[in-house]
Amino acid sequence: MRAFVLTAPYEGSVQEVPVPSAGPGEAVIDVERVGVCGTDVEFYTGEMAYLTEGHSSFPMRLGHEWSGRVSAVGAGVDTDWIGRRVMGDTMLGDGTCRRCLRGHQHVCEKRQEVGVRGDRPGALAEQLAVPVSSLHVLPDSVDPALGALVEPGGNALRSVQAAALTPEDRVLILGPGTIGLLAAMFARVTGAEVHLMGRSERSLAFARELGFENRWHEDSLPDLPFDAVIDASNAAHLPARAVDIVEPAGRVVHVGLAGEPSLVDTRDLALKDVTAVGVLSASPGLPATIRAYAEGVIDPRPLVAATVALDRTAATLAGERPSDAGPGPKIHIDPRLA
């Protein structure tokens, strides 16, 4: 089958690789849609920390935001899974450690991450094999594009849940990329007053198209009390800035990751009585995200600027956008396209 293989920083191509088989407890998925995200780009540039920490190595197959249809199952798996439309959890714990047994497989020390960590091939291919235990069934109302947006949506939903918003609150979201805009959509549902801060005129203009009027650059941020701040950016100075901005007794949520260490003075946290929460994974938020999409609570499909074929993967990772791409931040890849 055809798959995109990254062999070194800035070096990757579509190659013929063996078709996956379903091992015990596994299913093979015919991949319909894959989202490209910042983590994939960091692997492409060689900047992803997992490469230096020994959690990942080249060659590797990327792709952890995906949707598709089950085409085969392995030993011990109910054949009723065949034909079901699904998406999958990225985080695969060992299933035996204390964290996994407590339902926290997404922070298992020995976890694999599909397309990210532990040599588990990703979804940028015609087919993918994963444990059935990681699958979530998609209702008919959740199309392939929405299915591939469940994983980033789960991160955004968990961030909003951690912010504990009420209709009386004002929340500031740093970074109007995919996660930031999804967080803004979920935050708007709570009734809170939503503000966005970013650097790019294009991304802030797109946020306005989505109905978010309160959009700011860092140097023009108004002096308002923000009850919660969600940092969905990759800027190293913004975690500390979030603590500085938030109201005393407020909540700060860190879901974005910088490419270098970001420092927060814990004295500021303590003296302001701020609650700070880190969000690593979508895992605990996947079922609720699927329900939200299925019921039309939010519709993130406008975030997808274009859907391209597998042979456009390298160009997409390099930052190229199709000439007919829309204004959204997300590019999807459909391995079925010629």
> Is the pLDDT reported for residue 214 higher than 90?
yes
Q: Give the tens place of pLDDT for each residue, 227-278.
A: 999 999 999 999 999 999 999 999 999 999 988 899 999 999 999 999 999 9
The answer to whether position 41 is within a domain reads yes
Count of domains observed in the chain = 2
CATH number at residue 261: 3.40.50.720
74 and 180 both lie in a single domain? no
156 and 233 both lie in a single domain? yes
**Structure confidence at residue 39 as a pLDDT band (50, 70, 90):** very high
Closest CA to 95 of 131, 70, 62: 131
Q: Can you give the pLDDT at residue 260?
A: 87
Residue with tokens 């500021």: 268
Question: In whole angstroms, what is the distance from residue 196 CA to residue 59 CA?
Answer: 38
Q: Can you give the pLDDT at residue 288?
A: 98
- Which uninterrupted H or E stretch holds 241? helix 238-245
**Structure confidence at residue 117 as a pLDDT band (50, 70, 90):** very high
**Three-state SS at 215:** strand
168 and 179 both lie in a single domain? yes
Q: What is the DSSP letter of 296?
A: T
The answer to whether position 295 is within a domain reads no
**Structure confidence at residue 12 as a pLDDT band (50, 70, 90):** very high
Q: Can you give the pLDDT at residue 254?
A: 98
Mean pLDDT confidence for 177-204:
97
Q: Can you give the pLDDT at residue 259?
A: 83
Q: What is the DSSP letter of 45?
A: H
161 and 259 both lie in a single domain? yes
Question: In whole angstroms, what is the distance from residue 288 CA to residue 312 CA?
Answer: 32
pTM: 0.96
Prior bond of 144 cis (ω within 30°): no
Please give the C-alpha separations between residue 249 and each of 138, 170, 175, 333, in angstroms, as whole numbers.
Answer: 39, 13, 23, 43
101 and 123 both lie in a single domain? yes
Question: In whole angstroms, what is the distance from residue 64 CA to residue 61 CA?
Answer: 10
Mean pLDDT confidence for 167-183:
98
Tokens of 54: 């020994």
For residues 268 and 274, the answer to whether their CB atoms sit within 8 Å is: yes
Please provide the average confidence, as pLDDT, over all residues in the chain: 97
Domain membership of residue 268 as a residue range = 152-278
Q: Can you give the pLDDT at residue 297?
A: 97
161 and 251 both lie in a single domain? yes
For residues 198 and 204, the answer to whether their CB atoms sit within 8 Å is: yes
Tokens of 63: 């792709």
